[in-house]
Amino acid sequence: CSRWEEEKKEDGIKWMQLEHRGPYFVPPYEPLPKDVQFYYDGKPLKLSLATEEIATFYAKMLDHEYTTKEIFQNNFFHDWRKEMTSEEQEIIKDLDKCDFGEIHKYFVDKNEARKALPKEEKQKLKEEADKIQEEYGYCILDGHREKIGNFKTEPPGLFRGRGEHPKMGMLKKRIMPEDVIINCSKDSKIPEPPEGHKWKEVRFDNTVTWLASWTENIQNTLKYIMLNPSSKLKGEKDWQKYEVARRLKDVVHTIRAQYRKDWKSKEIKKRQRAVALYFIDKLALRAGNEKEEGETADTVGCCSLRVEHIQLHPQLEGQEHVVEFDFLGKDSIRYYNKVSVEKPVFKNLQLFMKNKDPSDDLFEHLNTTFLNKHLQDLMDGLTAKVFRTYNASITLQEQLKALTNPEDNVAGKLLSYNRANRAVAILCNHQRSIPKTFARSMQVLQEKIDAKKKQVEEAQEEVKKAEDEFKDTKDAKAEVNVEKKKKLLKRLEEQLSRMNIQATDKEENKQIALGTSKLNYLDPRITVAWCKKFGIPIEKIYNKTQREKFAWAIDMAGEDFEF
């Protein structure tokens, strides 16, 4: 049997044996050389070690747009001042008077120097990193040597957050062994903490799969060291996730009939649940958990939508019953969409919004616990998230069927694949900001295309000349020459077509993040089957890491796999 289908353990038990070295801690701070100075109000100022370290975090980010944002600057300055000595606090009172320029230049130069190292130096550095990876990057789990995902603690620095996160710029503190809980098996060799330190706790909990954990200081959330996605444990979990989504396929029609019926329910609670479920199903919205007041960014999901997040339009842009959504979703990413909904949904929303303030909950009788309990009753293992996985995967499969032209060359087929993937990313609202280098790299590509067009035109002239010559001389040598010139022309035309496809792809993709759905929402067997069916090398779609993560699917799926 393959390693994906080994013996099953009792429910809830994740391993019998777990042994590892504990996390690898980031090396301590190295002070700046004497000649690299910080200036305050134009005068050099020697900083204490802790203050200097935090100054370097800001200095390194000077060329990043984060440091231009007021909220980032304020959070940084507030946290930085907390760590200063009382003398420093007396002097440093205004961020605008701080000059980090010299420190910034020092790190830029250091970076350039590292890039310019001779090959053997680079090789030496790589060998050192590999040694650490060998020592800390693997664990023994039930007799298998498994790769660990993130075996290093995160280095201290300034919090960035995604979207417009209100805590950006805050100080992410250094993780110490005293912060860390170790999890391993009782009879294993328990990891040693670094010299002079001790662990916060060592526990032997085989109902969880993490190896170590700590609480990070900004969001107060738990961080874990987990196995690498390519490990057997993660692979099984991934596979099961898609199997649950495939089970939804068989009952989704019943569920849809049920929530349609519930739109007319006598109980308002049921109506709200049914409208929310329609959004989760049709728009792939996230469920949206309840959150503690003031602890994080004001982001919402379906259940936590407020009246101010939607607008109703009986008619808009030639469509009827349009709901206009505008809210910040997970990671403070804005969700903006105008959707024509079914009439009973529209009527219900009007009812739910009646006599309410903008800041009132849209579904005040609904929370995720109530919703997920209902979903569990409809199908074992069903949660709101399964709808996202199901709708993403089914969309990819249908789009691939609709868009792939078997006659296309590999580049053309890959464009179709990326378009299908884009349809999913748009459904899931996976956006990115336009990359900083986008305009420049697009311009470079356009210049290449223009140059190639010129070559094609010249080659066309050459073919014509050769044909005329052959007409005049009827000579065998001239005939060979015609063929040669035609071949060249054909090759150049293919190159031009590839470049044009690349430009189309790049332009369509500039604001869309494909990675999230590819890694988390799309059953990899759909992609593997498509590649096998159309003779596309799998590495054109999945890089090495992704191929390792999806090894189970590459093993399992034949070309006729149907999600």
Q: How many degrees, rounded to 5, is the angle at CA 517 between CA 540 and CA 276? A: 160
491 and 361 assigned to the same domain? no
105 and 176 assigned to the same domain? no
pLDDT of residue 63: 86
Write down which residue in 72, 104, 120 finishes a domain: 120
| Residue 70 is assigned to a structural domain of this protein | yes
| Residue 563 is assigned to a structural domain of this protein | no
Q: What is the mean pLDDT of the chain?
A: 89
CATH number at residue 61: 1.10.10.41
pLDDT of residue 157: 94
Each residue's pLDDT tens digit, 345-376:
999 999 999 999 999 999 999 888 889 899 99
Write down which residue in 230, 245, 274 finishes a domain: 230
Q: Which distant-in-sequence residues (6+ apart) come within 8 Å of 193 by Cβ? A: 22, 177, 199
pLDDT of residue 82: 95
160 and 256 assigned to the same domain? no
Q: Flag whether pLDDT at 110 surpasses 50.
A: yes
Each residue's pLDDT tens digit, 485-537:
899 999 999 999 889 888 888 888 787 777 777 888 899 999 999 999 999 99
541 and 398 assigned to the same domain? yes
267 and 202 assigned to the same domain? no
Q: Are 51 and 84 in contact (CB under 8 A)?
A: yes
- What CA–CA distance (Å, rounded) separates 89 from 80? 10
pLDDT of residue 528: 94
pLDDT of residue 6: 54
| Residue 468 is assigned to a structural domain of this protein | yes
- What CA–CA distance (Å, rounded) separates 411 from 418? 11
The kind and range of the H/E element at 184 are none
Q: Are 167 and 219 in contact (CB under 8 A)?
A: yes
Q: Flag whether pLDDT at 64 surpasses 80.
A: yes
Give 191's pLDDT tier (boundaries 50, 70, 90): very high
Of the candidates 430, 421, 401, 172, the one whose C-alpha atom is nearest the C-alpha of residue 286 is 430
Write down which residue in 230, 248, 277 finishes a domain: 230
Percent with pLDDT over 70 in the chain: 96
Each residue's pLDDT tens digit, 473-494:
878 888 888 889 899 999 999 9
| Residue 11 is assigned to a structural domain of this protein | no
- Out of 66, 106, 335, 521, the active site residue is 521
The DSSP letter of residue 308 is: G
Q: Are 55 and 80 in contact (CB under 8 A)?
A: yes
Lowest-pLDDT range of 104-113, 150-159, 160-169: 160-169
Q: Are 22 and 135 in contact (CB under 8 A)?
A: no
Active site residue 521: yes
Average pLDDT over residues 152-175: 89
pLDDT of residue 74: 95
pLDDT of residue 166: 86
CATH number at residue 544: 1.10.132.10
CATH number at residue 221: 2.170.11.10
Each residue's pLDDT tens digit, 276-330:
999 999 888 888 876 555 456 678 889 999 999 999 999 988 999 999 999 988 8
Q: Domain range spanning residue 283?
A: 234-382
pLDDT of residue 1: 42
- What CA–CA distance (Å, rounded) separates 332 from 460? 53
295 and 187 assigned to the same domain? no
State how many domains the chain has. 4
CATH number at residue 308: 3.90.15.10
336 and 413 assigned to the same domain? no
| Residue 31 is assigned to a structural domain of this protein | no
pLDDT of residue 291: 59
484 and 543 assigned to the same domain? yes
| Residue 32 is assigned to a structural domain of this protein | no
pLDDT of residue 3: 53
Q: Flag whether pLDDT at 465 surpasses 50.
A: yes
Helices and strands counted in the chain (H then E): 17, 15
For tokens 């370290």, the residue is: 53
Using left for φ > 0, alpha for ψ between -120 and 50, and beta otherwise, residue 435 falls in: beta
365 and 398 assigned to the same domain? no
Average pLDDT over residues 254-274: 94
412 and 354 assigned to the same domain? no
Q: Flag whether pLDDT at 437 surpasses 50.
A: yes
| Residue 387 is assigned to a structural domain of this protein | no
Q: Are 302 and 280 in contact (CB under 8 A)?
A: yes
223 and 210 assigned to the same domain? yes
- What CA–CA distance (Å, rounded) separates 271 from 551? 43
Lowest-pLDDT range of 86-95, 160-169, 293-302: 293-302
| Residue 312 is assigned to a structural domain of this protein | yes
543 and 401 assigned to the same domain? yes
Q: Are 39 and 32 in contact (CB under 8 A)?
A: no
